[in-house]
Chain A
């Protein structure tokens, strides 16, 4: 008989080693710990990704906030690392800034800071390890130097950078600079930098200048002052001539001579034209007025270019200033007056000191064609002849013809001539 006890034998659990249970529990805990750590690290990684901009810049407050909220039990470590990274980043940026201040601060010693100087400084900074985008952001703070005021602002900026690079203690240290009579004057080093970058103390004529420099500088100053004075009255000066020219052109077709109105208009121009010794009230007739107008052309241009100018307006290469019709002399005078005005405008933009005006102006004259300033006064046929008389560039490089067109465009953009075709 079966042992009833064997049939209804109760279920037996398998024999378990307590150590194995512990090991299994340990493994479960390990897996749980691994998951928690994995998720925490992933959350920190996500926080970095979400708070890093396209330019690599880190949004540190956003990063810290996200790590704190999602970093789990690694939040503490994550925040600590974020702080360390942020500090290192700040230190690096501070180093970059110091390099840039030292590099660009050296520009303060230059009499004029050009775009070329700034480009060279950018390359210098790049060689010292400053990233290009950082250099660009820094250089964006440089004032525009296109005008005299802008150039002064740029110099001032460079001095500030130099002082910042040296630090507050260095710039407060007393130093001496030469005074107007070469005596030493004690002032803080930072102030000294600013004064010396602007040419030193300007209380009188600096000692050591040669007579020639003084005379050149003084001559430039007089010429520039005169040009500025006339520049103020430019529109009033040229207006009568602008009125006389179309009237004279019309007279040429009708065959009758210039009348009172044309005579008065030319006389009015001559009155303000600055011809030495001329008393315009004493001009008796139009022929005399034309003679003085011719004198004006001869005084304000060069012989070769003046004849080319008159020939361009006459449409005849044989015509020179001396035998040109009145209307063509008037056009030549107007073109030359406009050219002088353009010259003044460009000098004012150059940022150069006043004592360089004469030298700059003579070079500018060589590079500019007076016919560009009378282009709108020519007929289409005359314009075509002028353009075709100029050689074209070769191999894709600009030639005299391209440069002439550029001068016409520039004169138009400055409001000195009307656009061709009008």
Chain B
């Protein structure tokens, strides 16, 4: 669920920091002159089905977190109950698994630190929003570049949501 909270786990988020790929072996020319020996990063080209799966997931995360972020109590009082409620709503959508949710809840700041909780939730929200935008841009660019057919490929099937998310991540491996 948590794409890039606080940037602390950015290496585990394949969708983070797409704008600044590193050069191969530290060669500063590899980004602008791959034919000189730098390794060209393949352009992510998520299909229509993969993009829809990703957008559904990231939208759902933003949707459940928005009311908490808009609550004036955030940053002043413990919001763990609201977060648990949001988690159960997400589980109900079946767009996120219980192990994933438990993994995030284990990292959620203590009840005595509302400010940290606010920062945590804001980071999660921003990360989901950024990831959604990136996937949409990648999908559009892939169609323009001819890497996908004009209709974007296979249609989305909710029954394959998890497989689609797994296959989507392969486009963003570092």
Contact = CB atoms under 8 A, between A and B. Distances in A.
Nearest to A123: B51
A116 B156 contact: yes
Interface centre among B91, B134, B143 (most CB of A within 10 A): B91
Interface string A128-170: 1111110110010000100000000000000000000000000
Contacts of A115: 56, 59-60, 63, 93
B137 interface: yes
Contacts, number: 89
Given A116-B158, A123-B139, A133 B55 contact: no
A397 B133 CA distance: 28
A406 B98 contact: yes
A402 B156 CA distance: 26
Interface in B87-120: 88, 91-93, 97-99
Contacts of B92: 406, 410
A119 B140 CA distance: 14
B171 interface: no
Contacts of B51: 123, 126
Contacts of B140: 126-132
Interface string A400-420: 001001100110010000000
A285 to B, nearest CB: 43
Contacts of A124: 152
A126 B144 CA distance: 10
Contacts of A413: 84-85, 88
B137 A131 contact: yes
Nearest to A131: B137
Given A119-B156, A132-B132, A397-B162, 17 more contacts: A115-B60, A115-B63, A116-B156, A123-B55, A123-B152, A127-B140, A127-B152, A129-B144, A130-B140, A131-B140, A132-B135, A136-B132, A398-B91, A402-B98, A406-B92, A409-B84, A413-B88
Interface string A366-399: 0000000000000000000000000001001110
Contacts of B156: 116, 119-120
Contacts of B143: 127
A307 B56 CA distance: 40
A123 B98 contact: no
Given A116-B56, A409-B88, A413-B88, A127 B97 contact: no
Interface in B48-107: 48, 51-52, 55-56, 59-60, 63, 84-85, 88, 91-93, 97-99
B150 interface: yes
Interface residues of A, number: 31
Given A116-B56, A127-B140, A132-B134, A396 B129 contact: no
B55 to A, nearest CB: 4
Given A126-B137, A131-B137, A119 B59 contact: yes
A340 interface: no
Interface of A: 115-116, 118-120, 122-133, 135-136, 139, 144, 393, 396-398, 402, 405-406, 409-410, 413
Contacts of B48: 120, 123, 127
Nearest to B131: A132
Contact of A116 (B52, B97, B151, B162): B52
A397 B152 contact: no
Nearest to B50: A123
A132 B137 contact: yes
B165 interface: no
Contact of B136 (A118, A132, A398, A409): A132
A409 B92 CA distance: 11
A128 B137 CA distance: 11
Report the 6 A-B pairs with minimum CB-CB distance, sorted nearest first: A132-B133, A132-B136, A126-B140, A126-B136, A119-B55, A119-B56
A398 B93 CA distance: 13
Contacts of A133: 133
Contacts of A132: 132-137, 140
15 contacts: A116-B52, A116-B56, A116-B158, A119-B52, A119-B59, A120-B52, A127-B150, A131-B136, A132-B133, A133-B133, A139-B59, A397-B162, A398-B97, A406-B88, A413-B84
Contacts of B139: 123, 126-127
A406 B129 CA distance: 26
Nearest to B60: A115
A418 to B, nearest CB: 14
Nearest to A402: B98
A118 B56 CA distance: 8
Contacts of A120: 48, 52, 156
A122 B139 CA distance: 11
Interface centre among A123, A406, A413 (most CB of B within 10 A): A123
A124 to B, nearest CB: 8
Contacts of B60: 115
A139 B62 CA distance: 12
A106 to B, nearest CB: 15
